[in-house]
Amino acid sequence: MSNSKSKTSNPKSKIENPKWIDLHTHSAYSDGSMTPTELVGVARETGLAAVALTDHDTCDGIAEFLEAGRRARLEALAGVEVSVESGDRTVHVLGYGIDPAHGRLRSALRELVEGRNERNVKIVRRLQMLGVRIELDEVKAFAGEQVVGRPHFAQALVQKGVVATFDEAFARYLARGRPAYCDRFRLEPAEAIALIAEAGGVTVLAHPYYMGLSSDLVTSTLARLKRAGLAGVEAYYTEHTEEETRLYVEIADRLGLFVTGGSDFHGTIKPDIALGWGRGSLRVPYALYERLCEEIERRRAGG
C-alpha cells in the first residue's frame, strides 16, 4: 500500500454539496477540543447532512450531542471508538447506533480507561527496574492527544536508543511474556463487537491503514472479524490515499461488508484536519450514512 499522503489545505468555503457526512469525530469528552454542542454547530455551519460522535472509550458526551443535533435539525448518530488489542497490534473499532446508557457497555469502557492508566504506570516501573531511564511523560509525548499504549512505549524506547526498532522494543520488553509486559483489562475484537451489538449498535473497523498490513492481511483480518459480527470498514478516511480508499472499498465489497467514512476530527488538537473535509479532499457520501442506518435497524430487528 502506498504511504504517500495528500496534504491539501483546508478550504475556506462551506461544503458545496449538503449531502456529505462525517462519521468519525471526537469531542472534549475524550481527546477533542470542542464540546459536543460546539461540534454540532460546526457541522451545521459546514453544511454537513449527518455527523456521528465517536469519542475514545466513552459515551459520556452522547446525550449532549444528540440533543444539540435535534435542536440544530442535523442528523446526529451516537457512536464510540473502542481500542482493542489483537496480538501485539492495537485495533480500533467504531460502534454506531449504540445506547449510551447501556450499563455493560459503560462499565466496560470505564474499565478500559482505568486499566490502561494503571498498566502504563506499571510498565514504567518495570522498565526502570530493568535499568531503563524513562518517565511516563516521555511516553505521553509520543501519544500526543491519543490514548497512551504500548506502541508509544516502543517509540520512546527507540528514541532513547534502548532498542533499534519498534519490533525490537516488543520482542525484548513489551510483548506478552517479556519483562516489562503488564496485563490489564482488555477487550478482544470479538468481545468489543459483541458488546456493541448488545448495546444496539453495529461495528466498523476504523482506519485500516493504521494496521500497517498488506492487502491480503487486511482481507484476512476483516474476514475473521466479520465472522465475529463486524459489519463494515472505514474506507473513506483523512489519511487514506485515493488508491487505499479504492482498495478498502473493493475488499469490503468482496467480503460483503458496507463502508463508512470520517475525518477523525479533533478540533484544535489536530488543526490540519477539518470536519467533513479532512485535509481538504475528503468527501463521504450521504448514501453511506443511509446504508449504515439501514444496517443498524436490520440488526436491531434481528435480521
CATH of the domain at 79: 3.20.20.140
Low-confidence stretches of the chain (pLDDT beneath 70): 1-18, 87-88, 145-147, 303
205 with 277, same domain? yes
Contact indicator for 223, 213 with CB cutoff of 8 Å: no
Per the rule left: phi > 0, alpha: psi between -120 and 50, beta: everything else, 85 is beta
89 with 198, same domain? yes
**289-to-64, 75, 135 alpha-carbon distances in Å:** 21, 10, 43
What letter does residue 269 receive in the DSSP assignment? Answer: G
Which pLDDT value is given to residue 234? 98
For residue 68, give the amino acid letter. Answer: A
Residue 183 lies in a domain: no
99 with 114, same domain? no
Residue 144 lies in a domain: yes
For residue 35, give the amino acid letter. Answer: T
Which pLDDT value is given to residue 90? 75
Residue 212 lies in a domain: yes
Distance, CA of 103 to CA of 92 (rounded, Å): 21
257 with 150, same domain? no
Domain boundary among 174, 196, 226: 174
Domain boundary among 174, 197, 220: 174
142 with 282, same domain? no
Distance, CA of 298 to CA of 293 (rounded, Å): 9
Contact indicator for 65, 43 with CB cutoff of 8 Å: no
140 with 196, same domain? no
Contact indicator for 5, 241 with CB cutoff of 8 Å: yes
Which pLDDT value is given to residue 302? 78
Which pLDDT value is given to residue 138? 94
Domain boundary among 142, 174, 206: 174
Residue 179 lies in a domain: no
Q: Which of 51, 64, 62 is nearest to 25 (CA)?
A: 51
Distance, CA of 30 to CA of 8 (rounded, Å): 27
Number of domains in the chain: 2
283 with 219, same domain? yes
Burial class (CB in 10 A: 0-12, 13-18, 19+), 217: exposed
Residue range of the domain that includes 117: 110-174
> The domain spanning residue 136 has which CATH number?
1.10.150.650
Residue 8 lies in a domain: no
Contact indicator for 115, 184 with CB cutoff of 8 Å: yes
Looking at 144-258, list the stretches that DSSP marks H as alpha helix, in order from N- to C-terminal side.
150-159, 166-169, 189-198, 215-227, 242-255
Distance, CA of 96 to CA of 232 (rounded, Å): 11
287 with 193, same domain? yes
CB atoms within 10 A of CB 51: 31
Residue 14 lies in a domain: no
Distance, CA of 76 to CA of 69 (rounded, Å): 5
Q: Which of 28, 56, 37, 14 is nearest to 268 (CA)?
A: 28
CB atoms within 10 A of CB 118: 13
Distance, CA of 4 to CA of 209 (rounded, Å): 12
44 with 27, same domain? yes
Distance, CA of 97 to CA of 278 (rounded, Å): 23
89 with 215, same domain? yes
77 with 146, same domain? no
Beta bridge mates, 22: 51
276 with 160, same domain? no
Q: Is the pTM of this model over 0.85?
A: no
Residue 10 lies in a domain: no
Please give the grid coordinates belonging to residue 288.
453511506
Residue 38 lies in a domain: yes
Distance, CA of 202 to CA of 53 (rounded, Å): 14
